[in-house]
Structures are given as structure tokens and as C-alpha cells.
Structure 1
């Protein structure tokens, strides 16, 4: 199935363009250095549901505040010791999370090919600005729709309705022109399908959150990297 018809790429950011699990692990060090700390897989088995529930409980909370609560709740769940200062540092850590090595160059290629690049992300505006600096190099995102702007978190269908409506308003483009590009099946692929949006899954190696428990969710397209995806869609559109 050709990628040529798509004109707007609706990107998840964290887990797709930004390596959030590596960023999280770095900032969970005060917990992971304790003798009874779990391994990576177990940590994310605990963190994922806690983060999802924290967002569900207060959809208008800033993501930085969500993360602060997640740190404390994770420590409690795992019977580990945590301080308020450590929790706050984790909440403020998003700008330090690294980009995947292929993200920026692939995004530049996609922008140069005339595709609209739109972010739909579970993040607050301030935190995203740090990530934006890591990603934008020789191009700019065409639109950025954050959870803070929308007032809810994915996988709420409200977020996808917001994106569809604003893409039509801002660019005059329809739902059929949009392709979701994401790693998380929970946050993006599955709810996107409920809105009849096509999806390209970026299969980031070792990704756990939003992926491991959703192996039965099938994307329309699958790629091993952003570079592979960019090459494929540019070829189809040439």
C-alpha cells in the first residue's frame, strides 16, 4: 500500500522521536541504585500503568506535574525510598531526554519533501520546548498540539479530534491526508484507528511502554527506524 497519498505526518514525540525510556532511566537513577530496585523491564511494567492512571485522573495536569507524581508513586509501589526533590527533578527532566539518533535528519528530509510535520504529544508546552531544540535542525514543525493545549491526554479520542479539526483549519487538509507516525500502540496507533486514521509504527528496539502489552494492535505500515520510514514515503511520493 503506497504512502504517496499522505500529506500530513502526525507524530508522537516521546518514544518515537525522543528516546523517553532512556531519559526516564537516567532520571530514575536514585531509585535504580537501591539494592532492591527492579530491572528495566519490570520498572516500565510499573511506571506505564501509573503514568496512564495519573493522566486519566487529572487530564488537565501539566505533564511535568504528572511525572513528579509518577516518581513518588513508582517508589511507593516498588518499596523504594524517594525524596520530594528527586520527584521534582524527575518532573522537570523532559528537556534532558535525548533524541533518537535518526530523528532530526529524517524529519529534515520529510520537511524538504513538502510534507507537513505535526506533533501530537502528551506533554506540557514548556517541557516540549527543550525537546524541540533537540529535533529542529534546518526545518520547523508546522504545528504542535500538546496535551496542555488540548486539555487531555492520549489515548483520549478528544486529542485526535483536536488534531483532525486543526489540521483542516490550519492547512485545509482532510483526515484522509493524515498519517499517524508513532511508536506507542496504546497512545497513538490504537486510538488513531478508532478515528479511522492510518498509522505507521516505528518499531524502536527494546521499547516497552505503550508497546509490550499491545502486540495484538496492528499498524497499517511498519518501519524499523525513522530513516527507513522517510526513505519509503519519499520514494512513494517521487
Structure 2
């Protein structure tokens, strides 16, 4: 384990690292659709939705003249296209809103709340996510995530892995980059943070994408901590 004695704050990737987005959305939409009498392959829709996630943010990067677009809006734009592709009929405006807001209602992994609660006793903890502020705030309420504050890409008008997100988090916390630890289940996220001087912790979430998972089964970098879950991170950080 590297020297992490200077760390004063841990910031977390959220989708896949803190919350189980795939199983949460599939279960939510399946139960909801039964009350609406709507038939759809929700697993295919959810997987398709996540598959266009990165591309939707790339569009924002490619067209800065259009201004920053929050994730809720990107999710809604992608959903409308996917509903047509999957020939899901009978959805009202209220239905489309409910589905879009599904990303606000995600369940945590079993170790998330307990591990975060332990870390909170000694460190500042916050998400550092591409989710917008309202999304992350509502999710925290729904899932019982004990954040000290919400750090969102919306605050910096840049999506990860743009440097502005990681550097902006340290700046808002009044800390040097080496005093901030990025926690993620995604090696590429940690690589971007490490390049800027942040400390790093990897936790594998091998079922994040269900049977579609193709990577991030294990640490692929020289991270400061590699742990099985958040409670092990807390233990390694002296909590």
C-alpha cells in the first residue's frame, strides 16, 4: 500500500462503483410497467441506454458552442431514441419522465453505505460523478448515501475524464490533489485522476454490466489501494 497519510477527502465514482445501476433500473421498470400495462424488454433498453452514455457526453465535448448539457437531459434524449428503436408504444410524457428519473432511484451495493459511513468518521466523502447535482442529491436520499457534499460534473461543466472535474474537486475542497483520493470500479477513471496527482483506490464490481461485462474485473494500474469493497478501504484508511 502506498503512502496515503496526506489524504483528507475521498471522492467516488457513483454509477457502478457506489450504486448498482443495471439491476436497479431493470427491477424498477419491470415492476412499474406491470402497473401501466406496457410490455417491453427492459433489460435490452437499460443495456442500450448505458451503451450510449459515453457517446452522449462526447457530443457535449465536441460542441462546446452549444453549452454544457446536464446528464438528466442527455439521458432523456437517449431514451427517446431508444424507445423508438425498441418499438415501445403507449408511453406518455409522464412515463418518459418516470423512466428518466430512474437514474435518481438506484440502489447501493451491499457494502456501500456501511463503508461510506465508516470513512465519513475520519474523512470528507463526496461523489465525483458525471451525474448532475439534482440526480446525485436525490439518489443520496433514496439510497441513504451519507455524503458530506455533492461534487458533480455539472459544477465544472466538464464530464469525466476531463481534467477539470478532478482538479475542480480538489479546488472546491481547498485541498492539494495528493490530499484527495479517487475511488472507482473503473480503471480508466483512476488513470485520469492519477495523472493529475490524486491518490487512487480500486474496488471491482464484476457484475455491474451483468453478462455483458467485458472489463474492470480487476485492477489494471498501480493504484494506491486495491480492495474487495468499501469496508476494506475503510479498514486500510484507518476507520
Give TM class, smaller chain: 0.7 to 0.9
Q: Conserved in 1, the CA contact under 8 Å of 2:182 and 2:201?
A: yes
Measured in 2, the distance between the counterparts of 1:230 and 1:151 equals 31
Q: Is 1:218–2:191 an aligned residue pair? A: no
Q: Conserved in 2, the CA contact under 8 Å of 1:63 and 1:124?
A: yes
Q: What is the aligned length?
A: 221
- Which of 132, 136, 145 is equivalent to 1:128? 136
RMSD in angstroms over aligned alpha carbons?
Answer: 3.1
TM-score by length of 2: 0.77
1:118-163 deviations in Å (ceiling 9; x for gaps): 22111122222222224557xx533321122221221222211211
Measured in 2, the distance between the counterparts of 1:26 and 1:219 equals 36
Measured in 1, the distance between the counterparts of 2:56 and 2:157 equals 14
C-alpha deviation, 1:38, in angstroms? 8.8
Q: Conserved in 2, the CA contact under 8 Å of 1:182 and 1:200?
A: yes
Distance 1:234 1:88, change over 3 A: same
TM-score by length of 1: 0.77
Distance 1:229 1:33, change over 3 A: farther
Q: Conserved in 2, the CA contact under 8 Å of 1:189 and 1:219?
A: no
Partner of 1:24: 25
Q: Which runs of 5+ in 1 are unaligned?
A: none
Residue 13 of structure 1 aligns to a residue whose secondary structure is: coil
